[in-house]
Amino acid sequence: MPEFNFCKGGLFLMVISVNGSPVTLDMDSILLWALVGLVAGFLASHLALGHGLGLIWDIVVGILGALFGGIVLAGMLHFSIAIAGHPIISSIIMAFIGAAILLLILRLFSGRSYRRRAF
């Protein structure tokens, strides 16, 4: 059951449990997810489709790719990447791989062909 607490700035802090370990959802972690999603979604959409999807859809694709990368690649296939340095770099790479796979699957099953625009 999630707990809701109020922080100093009046924003909420939500603590949930995933596999027995607490996960804190505050504004910092939500902004970090959006940043990782933006970078991974932007790179994956340009690689898989040849063009970007816009700010919001790049973030959405990146976050879904991070979920796909975390659940399917790391959880089921036991494939993970660890790079010495800041852990956000490893998160961006896993989210990029997951988002690129999702966009390639989308491109494979969609009937439309994606063409690169001149500008």
| Amino acid found at 49 | L
Q: If you search the block for the tokens 């990029």, which residue do you land on?
A: 96
CA dihedral 27, 24, 65, 70 (to 10 degrees): 160
pTM given for the model: 0.67
Q: In 3D, which of 33, 42, 38 has the Cα closest to residue 59?
A: 38
Instruction: Calculate ∠ Cα 85-90-92, nearest 5°.
Output: 125
| Amino acid found at 106 | L
- pLDDT tens digit sequence for 79-109: 777 777 787 888 888 888 888 888 888 888 8
- pLDDT tens digit sequence for 61-71: 888 888 888 77
